[in-house]
Amino acid sequence: RKHYRYLKILQRHPSHVRSVKFSPDGSKIVLCSNETVKILGIASEQEIGVLKGHSDIVNDAQFSPDGNMIVSCSNDKAIILWNESSHKKITELRGHKQAVTSVQFSPDGKAIVSASQDQTIRIWDVPSGREVVILEQFSDMTYAQFAPNGQRIMAVSNNGPIEIWDVTERKMICEFGGNAQYERKAKLSSNGCLAVSCSRTEEISLWNVISGRKSKILEGHFDAVNDVKFFSDNQTLVSCSMDNTIRLWDAELEVETQKLKGCSDNITMIDVSSNDTTIVSVSENGAIQLWKLL
């Protein structure tokens, strides 16, 4: 079983952080706050770059799978692609009519999926910057994620069920949740077979993506769960909560395996490095903290 220890505070951020993600090699994180995107080095604890180009609050940012680009999205309705090393804007993707709430690269890095308050999910071709697919019929979208095969996406909305869509056929394959409690966050496992969702209750739910049935419930938090993520083994999960804790779980056995100590505030989000050795957390008080595998 994986066990982690508290490593350090990477930064105390003065303003509200809306997203935090590791680079593919785990050496950097990208975070967004206000109208800027920042790249922080983990070893140096220094700001490596500040990406300026959005004119309103930035909601999400992510490295490309090869680490050479960053994509960000904002309330200004724009999606921007950046060169990671020069910190310069490559191109701007426009088409959404309202705030763009999430962006993510496809596993091969050739496409981007975006979710927006304009009630659409859009897929963009990275080399050309063109919009290639629009999926409609949603309520306000908060999050969209490619499945590992790049052929399906998971869509999470403010008040509807979690939906799985086939990109090429542009149709919904299955939906689950559907209860207003389930709309905080949902993530797919790296094999694409399971989804995990966290809610305004203390529960974490595991879903079979093929059948849409709830397979397991993990209980242990005693306040709303803010974020949750699978490790690459598709069995270990990490979650964070308004109860000021980060917890690790064995999803197969349905047990909590560790409670990380050292948090003093509501933890709003987490990410795990691709090799599973480091966890980053963001607290409401602006502390960006790191946890290392023992």
The number of residues making up the chain comes to 294
Checking if the pLDDT of 199 tops 90, the result is no
Tell me if residue 277 falls in helix, strand or coil. coil
Per-residue confidence band for 250, with pLDDT thresholds at 50, 70 and 90: very high
Residue type, 287: A
Residue range 231-260: mean pLDDT, rounded: 94
pLDDT of residue 179: 65
Question: 9-23, 146-160, 176-190 — which is least confidently predicted?
Answer: 176-190
pLDDT of residue 180: 56
For the chain, what percentages of helix, strand and coil (3-state, to nearest 5) are there? 0, 55, 45
pLDDT of residue 183: 56
Instruction: Note every long-range contact of 243-251, with CB atoms under 8 Å and residues 24 or more positions apart, other chains counting.
Output: 243/202, 245/221, 246/270, 246/279, 246/281, 246/291, 247/220, 247/221, 248/2, 248/3, 248/4, 249/204, 249/218, 249/220, 250/1, 251/194, 251/196, 251/206, 251/216, 251/218
Could you tell me if 141 and 157 are in contact, meaning their C-beta atoms sit under 8 angstroms apart?
Answer: yes
Alpha carbon distance 283, 134 (integer Å): 35
pLDDT of residue 264: 72
Residue type, 73: C
Residue range 272-276: mean pLDDT, rounded: 97
pLDDT of residue 263: 75
For 207, other C-beta atoms within 10 Å of its C-beta total 25
Alpha carbon distance 22, 101 (integer Å): 19
Burial of 58 (0-12, 13-18, 19+ CB in 10 A): buried
List beta partners, residue 42: none
Match 């077979």 to its residue by tokens. Answer: 193
* List of domains in the chain: 4-293 (2.130.10.10)
pLDDT of residue 181: 58
Tell me if residue 49 falls in helix, strand or coil. strand
Checking if the pLDDT of 265 tops 90, the result is no
Percent of the chain residues past pLDDT 90, beyond the cut: 81
pLDDT of residue 1: 82
pLDDT of residue 261: 76
Checking if the pLDDT of 182 tops 80, the result is no
Q: What angle do CA 247, 11, 114 make, to 5 degrees?
A: 70
Instruction: Give the tens place of pLDDT for each residue, 131-175.
Output: 999 998 767 788 999 999 999 999 988 777 889 999 999 999 999
Q: What angle do CA 211, 216, 221 make, to 5 degrees?
A: 140
Nearest to 249 by CA among 271, 221, 287, 209: 221
Query: Best-predicted range by mean pLDDT among 68-72, 205-209, 217-221?
Result: 68-72
pTM: 0.95
Checking if the pLDDT of 293 tops 90, the result is yes
Could you tell me if 172 and 161 are in contact, meaning their C-beta atoms sit under 8 angstroms apart?
Answer: no
Instruction: Give the tens place of pLDDT for each residue, 63-110.
Output: 999 999 999 999 999 999 999 999 999 999 999 999 999 999 999 999
Alpha carbon distance 31, 62 (integer Å): 8
How far CA 102 is from CA of 122, 123, 262, in Å, comes to 11, 12, 29
Could you tell me if 246 and 235 are in contact, meaning their C-beta atoms sit under 8 angstroms apart?
Answer: no
Tell me if residue 115 falls in helix, strand or coil. strand
Residue range 37-42: mean pLDDT, rounded: 97
Average pLDDT of the chain is 93
